[in-house]
Amino acid sequence: MRLIFLGPPGVGKGTQAKLVCDCFDIIHLSTGEILRTEIAVQSNIGNKAKLFIDNGKLVPDNVLLDIINNRLRNNDAQKGYLLDGFPRTIPQAEGLEKIMKNLSHSLKAIVSLSVDEDELVQRLINRSLESGRSDDAPDIIRQRQKVYWKQTAPLLDFYRSKNLLKEVDGSGDIPEITERILGVLK
């Protein structure tokens, strides 16, 4: 099983991704988490990515495509994976298609989670109190939302046209949302 989770910051992708991965015994690949680890160990990638992340901007496509190209070749990725936070631009989605084709991997579905604007903002404010993430400050949160609508939302049409898009209501409590996601993956 190979899946992509799409949705604006704060929609609950990370939480749901972990639960769905446990359910199907596949690995959870969050590019945000991978980049935060690279920053923590001060690698070349981390040093390059930090400025973009701290300003709520996207890290350049070629950096992400290199990370994913390496990661999807690992042994642990052969049983399946869920991509959380990747792709985020059309060039990333096109690059991913090439990478997966080379590996003879096919996508089962793209799950798009959405919640209304008020709930989204409230969730991000709550998360900012405990996450310790440098990009969870209010002005950076707003910038990340803008980037999502401008650069990532076009992926909805991209995957809709390939008949792979499953749209799921991301409001309500956690188990209820997980049930909805599992329902569209049957």
Report the site for ligand AMP in 73-132 (rule: CB under 6 A): 85-88, 92
Least spacing, CB of residue 185 vs ligand AMP, in Å: 21
Q: Which of residues 124-143 bind ligand AMP (CB under 6 A)?
A: 135
- Smallest distance from ligand AMP to CB 39, Å: 9
b/e 89-125 (16+ beta carbons within 10 angstroms → b): beebbebbeebeeeeeeebbbbbbbbbeeeebeebbe
Scan for tokens 């400050």, then name that residue.
137
Residue 3 pairs with which residues in a beta bridge?
82, 109
Q: What is the DSSP string of 77-108?
A: GTT-EEEES---SHHHHHHHHHHHHHTT----
User: Minimum CB separation from ligand AMP for residue 113, in Å?
Assistant: 13
| Smallest separation (angstroms) from ligand AMP to the CB of 44 | 16
Q: Which has the closest alpha carbon to 93: 65, 66, 53?
A: 65
Any contact of residue 12 with ligand AMP (CB under 6 A)?
Answer: no
Burial of residue 51 (number of CB atoms within 10 Å: 0-12, 13-18, 19+): exposed
Which 42-71 residues touch ligand AMP, going by CB under 6 A? 52-53, 56-59, 64
Among 32, 81, 110, 178, binds ligand AMP (CB under 6 A): 32
Of the pair 144, 180, the CB lying nearest ligand AMP is at 144
Number of residues located near ligand AMP, criterion CB under 6 A: 18
**Angstrom distance (rounded) from CA 102 to CA 40:** 31
- What the block records as the tokens of 78 is 């052969």
Q: How far is the CB of 49 from ligand AMP (least distance, A)?
A: 7
What does the binding site for ligand AMP look like in residue numbers (CB under 6 A)? Answer: 9, 31-32, 35, 52-53, 56-59, 64, 85-88, 92, 135, 144
